[in-house]
């Protein structure tokens, strides 16, 4: 089945190819967001090209460490996608949530498809394997990540735009979702601009 990737911000990609003899077990091909440490390690690795000596102990140890860390980063990776609904009613609910992140609520979503909030919760769990609260939080956090990456709004403005009236509640939810504070995340994009 073909996969589609949508990117809302400019990205930079770096690929590093290593000799199979440096890898004890194969790493799957993956695309994932990198931590600041990973970003700096990848930049540093660019100092070696394919013409380097195969017995360069420093380079070999460096890449072995990078591979070991990459395995850990991949294991810790958060899945940045929302579940896709199959039924028309659930598609309406998802469209409503995405269009109204700031004010979306369970009762309004349920009335949109003429079911009770309890029924909507059950349908969402059955069809999308998520809860209402989890879906709303994930949608808000992904939108917040996009807005912060654009670098046009402050953290407080983004928090309000995605439905958080309290900056501290937004900060806590963002940190729980991404593992870093919104201001740290924003800084990654404003420094590279």
Residue 12 CA to its chain's centroid (Å): 16
pLDDT tens, residue by residue, 38-47: 888 888 988 8
- Is 106 inside a domain boundary? yes
Pair (93, 181) in one structural domain: yes
CB count in 10 Å sphere of residue 165? 9
Query: Rounded CA gap, 120 and 112, in Å?
Result: 10
Pair (66, 153) in one structural domain: no
Do residues 67 and 22 make contact, with C-beta atoms less than 8 angstroms apart?
A: yes
Judged against a pLDDT cut of 50, whether residue 176 lies above it is answered with yes
**114 Rama sector, left if φ>0, alpha if ψ -120 to 50, beta otherwise:** left
- Is 134 inside a domain boundary? yes
Query: Rounded CA gap, 128 and 114, in Å?
Result: 19
Pair (92, 178) in one structural domain: yes
Least reliable range by pLDDT among 42-46, 53-57, 70-74, 111-115? 70-74
Q: Which residues contact 175 (CB under 8 A, 6 or more apart)?
A: 181, 182
Which of 56, 76, 96 is where one domain is finished?
Answer: 76
| Number of domain units in the chain | 2
- Is 14 inside a domain boundary? no
Residue 51 φ then ψ, to 5°:
-85, 0
Residue 130: strand, helix, or coil:
coil
What is the total residue count of the chain? 193
- Is 13 inside a domain boundary? no
Which pLDDT belongs to residue 161?
Answer: 94
Host domain of residue 172: 88-192
- Is 83 inside a domain boundary? no
What does pTM read for this prediction? Answer: 0.65
CA 152 vs CA 38, 144, 148, 186: distances in Å = 25, 12, 7, 10
Judged against a pLDDT cut of 80, whether residue 171 lies above it is answered with yes
User: Which CATH number belongs to the domain containing residue 142 in this structure?
Assistant: 1.10.10.60
Pair (60, 125) in one structural domain: no
């Amino acid at each position: 089945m073909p996969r589609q990737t949508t990117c809302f911000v400019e990205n930079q990609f770096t690929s590093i190819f290593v000799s199979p003899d440096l890898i004890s077990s194969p790493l799957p091909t993956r695309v994932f967001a990198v931590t600041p440490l990973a970003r700096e390690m990848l930049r540093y690795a660019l100092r070696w090209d394919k013409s380097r000596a195969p017995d360069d102990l420093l380079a070999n140890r460096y890449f072995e460490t990078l591979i070991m860390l990459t395995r850990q980063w991949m294991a810790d990776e958060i899945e940045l996608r929302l579940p896709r609904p199959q039924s028309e009613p659930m598609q309406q609910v998802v469209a409503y949530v995405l269009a109204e992140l700031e004010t979306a609520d369970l009762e309004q979503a349920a009335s949109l498809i003429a079911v009770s909030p309890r029924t909507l919760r059950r349908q969402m769990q059955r069809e999308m394997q998520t809860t209402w609260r989890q879906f709303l939080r994930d949608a808000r956090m992904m939108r917040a990540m996009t807005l912060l990456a654009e670098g046009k709004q402050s953290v407080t403005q983004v928090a309000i735009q995605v439905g958080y009236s309290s900056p501290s509640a937004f900060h806590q939810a963002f940190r729980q979702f991404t593992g870093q504070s919104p201001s740290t995340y924003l800084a990654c994009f404003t420094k590279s601009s």
